[in-house]
Structure 1
Amino acid sequence: MRIALAQFNPVVGDIAGNTRKILELAKTAMAQGADVLVTPELALTGYSPEDLLLREHFYRAIYAGLDELEMLDGITLVIGHPARLGHERFNAATVLRDGNRLGQYHKMLLPNNEVFDECRYFTPGAAPLVFEQNGVKVGIIICEDGWSVEPAAEAADAGAEVIVSLNASPFHRNKIATRHEVMRYRVQETGLPMAYVNLTGGQDELVFDGASFALNKAGEVVAQAAAYDDELLLLDVVDGDIVAANLAPLPDELESAYRALVVGVRDYIVKNGFPGVLLGLSGGIDSALTLAIAVDALGADKVHAVMMPSRYTADISVDDSRDMVQRVGVKYDEIEIWPMYESFMNALAPSFAGLPADTTEENLQARIRGTLLMALSNKSGKLVLTTGNKSEMTTGYCTLYGDMAGGFAVLKDVAKTLVFALCRWRNTQGEIIPERIITRPPSAELRPDQKDQDSLPPYDVLDAIMERYVEHNQSAADIVRAGFAEADVAKVVRLLKINEYKRRQAPVGPRITHRGFGKDWRYPITNRFS
């Protein structure tokens, strides 16, 4: 028996388009001798449709897609899709062959943590499903089912000789190795080989990295699809085991994070139909990395960078910005903001009389820049990319309606220390970020001689505290006991708490850790817990 794993990039809600993609993949698989085509989880609708799942006519479109797929003869299809039976909804996989529906499996374990909210929509399934193909009995599980013992064990008890796992498993750092490890446990427990298929592509804040694979009975990876790219992975089952097939090389941690950001930007812009992007280029490292990612995602012709200097902007910031845009070949403009700033200050002078200068004047500069970018966006239809990183989002070191103004926050889940590492990695692929941008001390350049570390702990300290508190739920006391200065911990935690209202107003951005400031971060703004 030959199984084809259809690793591809659906568009949420485009059921007709996703159906066409699956049909094309099935025909290609048939031409290559496949007996079974297995799609990822909810492949027919994309993952996740969220509250589209509550709409009755959504299911009419789903079943129209299944009807079309059912008409294909010559190959067995295992199609991931939402199903509705009476008043209950299920995360399902239907087996189609030559105009017949051989059965429908309902996902048994529904994740309700991190970015997952499946208990809101689905009822858990209660029974395994095994179908026979070329004399081989195939059991089905779906995503979270594979992270616990029972569903795979029940498939084995029902007679399965090989297990196929349909997945919509979003990327976070080191996720591929974790998938291999966990699925190896299922193979060891059941004694059965496993084929694991995953989505590719970006969906709002989620990025799906593909990297489908197969494990033989010994738990060895005997087939590996590429990360991030669409692929049809062909597997042969011989004498009850999956035999060795193509093993694509996998990216290392930095390349994987960078490619995830590129996919997130590409699919957010392309799937939503924007003609391109705009961003404010400051001469600093965050906007430089954002520009590099945008160009790699969309091409230079779709990117417009705007430098908006003030009297506090260093000459080398302008020089470095000009240098980088020449290297990448994007459209570039410079707009001096100081005359606008003075007009604002003159208008505000009566209200500010007798009051000392503070961050108000700094934020006003950022808001002028945000206004200019949004005006250019309105006129061109291009989406503004914000350039702030996760360290700034944690501490509120960003300006509402200023540098936070925009439609997609590329570095929202990228710590500052990782920003530096990604810039260095990108330059190994072709040096497009001027070295001085990477080596200069970071500065917002909103007042004379300003440095980020005037207001924040050193970034290596800040990021380590942030990772422990945000991503691993450690308490402040636990972090202090781990050796961090109590004053630094107290400062970071305090800034995190008082800036929740800002994060609620930030644009969506690609998630690359297992705890980003998006669906998997739900803290009350009004909150006195200490």
Structure 2
Amino acid sequence: MTDRLSIALAQINPTVGDLTANAGLIRAARAEAAARGADLVICPAGSLSGAPLLDLAALPAFLDAVEETVRALADVTADGGPALLVGAPWREGKGRHNAALLLDGGKIAAVRFQAVTDAGEIGAPEEDRFDSGPMPGPVNVRGVRIGLLIGGDLATGDVAETLAESGAELLVAMLAGPFAPGRADERVQAAVARVVECGLPLVAVNLVGGQDERVFDGGSFALAPGGRLVAQAPLFAQHLLLTRWERGPDDSWDSSEAETIAPAEGTEALYTALMLGLHDAVTKSGAPGVVVGLTGGLDSALVAALAADALGPERVLAVRAPLPAGEAGASAGSFTDSLADSLADAAEIVELLGCRLDNVALTPVLKAADSLLAPAFAGRDSAAAADRLHARLRAATLAALAERMGAVLLSTADRTDRLLGLAAEETGCGYAVLSDVPKTAVLELTRWRNANQPAGSRGPAGRVVPERVLARRLKAETPAGLPPVDALDDLLAGLLDGGLSPADLAGRGHAAETVEMVWRLVVQAEAGRRRAPPGPRISRRTVARLRRFPIAGGFNDLM
């Protein structure tokens, strides 16, 4: 009977569908763990396949490739080194499951399936619709009975209780939990509840990295009996966390204090999540860098700073392509900037960040377009249509520059503008890093970044956004009829995320006519939101996931 067990938690950043590269990450983690004396290496849920898989999980050719790669990984364990626990989609009969596979001694020693598939996002993204598996029994690893909690199995007590009753000595949670404010602490608290309920220690390993609209935040950890935290990996970074366990006189397992890294919180966590999502959106697509259309406004300044931090200034091309002052998109994110101030601020932002700046003169193109359409616009009030055309021409120009370079064009629209249809045209953009960030949070993030340099930053230390850009945002006026920014974001959050009624919103100080106007703007902007590029989900509830409205619907009155 084994009295000691060294367990390595391999917090890795896989790419969805890239089985060869992901298997390479797992082999590298196993080699490092072997050098440090580990008996078992545990990888997150979906570590071999990446997550979220969406409809890739239903593709037979992909599942065939997964099985072939798993068997090749199993062959590696014939060398007598550490056993492997890896996460991957797995078929059994007609079912497709989120599985944990124990690889040891050159073979697939055991397979277990996620039993609870509707427990929210504590351990797995909701988009992956796997079939539920049966209540599992423990697996035997080097003489130790280990109970596996996969994805959402951690969120409820049923699976852990079944494992404890079946003789498990230690619980292992294999997670793919996405970031949202406070969710890392919720995972720990859910694990503490399982430990207290079952009387068993628990180790949890979580996926890390950005993938499409998800940012997985890592933060793997280990809990001794009683729920004592004995080890914790950082958020938002790949890491190998080694824990050592010993069997006590009463046959229970305990661990001494190991490496513990305090997690990022609040605005720091939010900024780092955006940075990681942007980094992986670019690097996993194979793009050499990004293009940012600088307006001198706060939104575009923050996007440029995030890009420099995520990728390094040398991979960021800032472009000034100003529209005539006052036009739609002329100064996205700072409603009333003057053109001269915007140009000067864009130049200073580039100097602070150390990235490259290109200038594009759009005036000849705009004049040609106006001349071409003048007959069609004659005798009509065409100012708004002309402004939208100019914004689209600017967007097309930026997209052409990005395409010529093979780069990703970044949208600079925030959540508030996107919801209301006030964002500049996003045609051709590949990634919208602020798509789930309300305008009030843009200000908070910029202030934080001016005073701090985030962990893992490739950008410069110190201030990255001129103070006058922040000051101008504070004095900016919203379009006619809309409330100030703080009240506007509160109204949008209550109306769309909180599901509040007009009466509830009135109780929070929002006038009925303002609620009605904002609702109409949100409905009218639906078609534009459906065409908009993806961006990282960093809030608990997002309109992109929970609220979709008919494009040509007839319900416009809330009252």
For the aligned pair, the TM-score class normalised by the smaller chain equals over 0.9
Match of 2:237 in 1: 229
Q: Distance in 2 between matches of 1:146 and 1:457?
A: 43
Gaps of 5+ in 2: 326-337, 453-461
Q: Distance in 1 between matches of 2:411 and 2:118?
A: 31
Matched, 1:343 2:368: yes
Deviation at 1:300, TM superposition (A): 1.1
Residues 359, 112 of structure 1: CA spacing in aligned structure 2 closer, same or farther, 3 A cutoff? Answer: farther
Residues 291, 393 of structure 1: CA spacing in aligned structure 2 closer, same or farther, 3 A cutoff? Answer: same
Which amino acid in structure 2 is aligned with residue 420 of structure 1? L
Q: Distance in 2 between matches of 1:424 and 1:152?
A: 44
Which amino acid in structure 2 is aligned with residue 354 of structure 1? G
Q: Distance in 2 between matches of 1:57 and 1:207?
A: 27
SS in 2 for 1:340: helix
Q: Distance in 2 between matches of 1:84 and 1:300?
A: 45
Q: Distance in 2 between matches of 1:526 and 1:159?
A: 58
Q: Is the 8 A contact 2:478 2:485 kept in 1?
A: no
Q: Which of 129, 137, 152 lines up with 1:144 in the alignment? A: 152
Q: Which of 244, 254, 261 lines up with 1:248 in the alignment? A: 261
Deviation at 1:52, TM superposition (A): 1.6
Render the CA deviation track for 1:297-321: whole Å, top value 9, x for unaligned.
1111111111112341521111111
Render the CA deviation track for 1:62-88: whole Å, top value 9, x for unaligned.
122211221213222111111112222
Residues 484, 421 of structure 1: CA spacing in aligned structure 2 closer, same or farther, 3 A cutoff? Answer: same
Q: Distance in 1 between matches of 2:533 and 2:318?
A: 19
Which amino acid in structure 2 is aligned with residue 6 of structure 1? A
Q: Which of 343, 346, 351 lines up with 1:326 in the alignment? A: 351
Q: Distance in 2 between matches of 1:326 and 1:295?
A: 12
Q: Is the 8 A contact 2:71 2:108 kept in 1?
A: no
Q: Which of 309, 312, 316 lines up with 1:299 in the alignment? A: 312
Residues 303, 80 of structure 1: CA spacing in aligned structure 2 closer, same or farther, 3 A cutoff? Answer: same
Superposition pairs of residues 119-138 of structure 1, within 5 angstroms: 119=129, 122-138=130-146
Matched, 1:368 2:393: yes
Deviating more after overlay: 235-244 vs 285-294: 235-244
Q: Distance in 1 between matches of 2:69 and 2:356?
A: 42
Which amino acid in structure 2 is aligned with residue 278 of structure 1? V
Match of 2:443 in 1: 420
Deviating more after overlay: 148-157 vs 103-112: 103-112
Residues 219, 480 of structure 1: CA spacing in aligned structure 2 closer, same or farther, 3 A cutoff? Answer: farther
Q: Which of 199, 206, 214 lines up with 2:207 in the alignment? A: 199
Render the CA deviation track for 1:398-442: whole Å, top value 9, x for unaligned.
24xx24541111100011000000000111121011111111037
SS in 1 for 2:126: coil
Matched, 1:441 2:473: yes
Which amino acid in structure 2 is aligned with residue 441 of structure 1? R
Q: Which of 350, 356, 359 lines up with 2:384 in the alignment? A: 359
Q: Distance in 1 between matches of 2:549 and 2:172?
A: 37
Match of 2:463 in 1: 431
SS in 2 for 1:272: coil
Matched, 1:161 2:174: no
Deviation at 1:501, TM superposition (A): 1.0
Q: Is the 8 A contact 1:225 1:248 kept in 2?
A: yes
Match of 2:328 in 1: none
Deviation at 1:483, TM superposition (A): 3.7
Query: Could you state the TM-score of these two structures normalised by the residue count of structure 2?
Result: 0.89
Q: Distance in 1 between matches of 2:477 and 2:166?
A: 64
Render the CA deviation track for 1:461-489: whole Å, top value 9, x for unaligned.
11112222333333333322344333332
Which amino acid in structure 2 is aligned with residue 499 of structure 1? A
Match of 1:54 in 2: 58
Q: Distance in 1 between matches of 2:98 and 2:426?
A: 40
Deviating more after overlay: 289-298 vs 174-183: 174-183
Matched, 1:74 2:81: yes
Match of 1:280 in 2: 293
Match of 2:109 in 1: 102
Matched, 1:461 2:487: yes
Q: Which of 407, 411, 423 lines up with 2:430 in the alignment? A: 407
Q: Which of 117, 122, 129 lines up with 2:127 in the alignment? A: 117
Matched, 1:34 2:41: no
Q: Distance in 2 between matches of 1:284 and 1:263?
A: 23
Q: Distance in 1 between matches of 2:153 and 2:552?
A: 37
Matched, 1:21 2:25: yes
Deviating more after overlay: 411-420 vs 150-159: 150-159
Deviation at 1:26, TM superposition (A): 1.0
Deviation at 1:519, TM superposition (A): 4.3
Q: Distance in 2 between matches of 1:441 and 1:25?
A: 46
Match of 1:446 in 2: none
Residues 112, 358 of structure 1: CA spacing in aligned structure 2 closer, same or farther, 3 A cutoff? Answer: farther
SS in 1 for 2:225: coil
Residues 473, 188 of structure 1: CA spacing in aligned structure 2 closer, same or farther, 3 A cutoff? Answer: farther
Q: Distance in 1 between matches of 2:258 and 2:516?
A: 53
Render the CA deviation track for 1:266-324: whole Å, top value 9, x for unaligned.
11111111121111100000000000001111111111111112341521111111111
Q: Distance in 2 between matches of 1:189 and 1:341?
A: 68
SS in 2 for 1:9: coil
Gaps of 5+ in 1: 444-449
Deviation at 1:214, TM superposition (A): 1.5
Deviation at 1:131, TM superposition (A): 2.1
Deviation at 1:117, TM superposition (A): 2.9
Q: Distance in 1 between matches of 2:140 and 2:362?
A: 69
SS in 1 for 2:203: strand
Deviation at 1:517, TM superposition (A): 4.2
Superposition pairs of residues 485-524 of structure 1, within 5 angstroms: 485-524=511-550
SS in 1 for 2:473: coil
Match of 1:7 in 2: 11
Q: Is the 8 A contact 1:278 1:383 kept in 2?
A: yes
Deviation at 1:102, TM superposition (A): 2.6
Q: Distance in 2 between matches of 1:273 and 1:528?
A: 43
Match of 1:262 in 2: 275
Deviation at 1:7, TM superposition (A): 0.2
Residues 236, 522 of structure 1: CA spacing in aligned structure 2 closer, same or farther, 3 A cutoff? Answer: farther
Q: Is the 8 A contact 1:201 1:264 kept in 2?
A: yes
Deviating more after overlay: 203-212 vs 517-526: 517-526
Render the CA deviation track for 1:102-133: whole Å, top value 9, x for unaligned.
321110111386861333xx221112131233
Q: Is the 8 A contact 1:162 1:241 kept in 2?
A: no
Q: Distance in 2 between matches of 1:512 and 1:264?
A: 10
SS in 2 for 1:183: helix
Q: Which of 403, 416, 419 lines up with 1:394 in the alignment? A: 419
Q: Is the 8 A contact 1:110 1:124 kept in 2?
A: yes
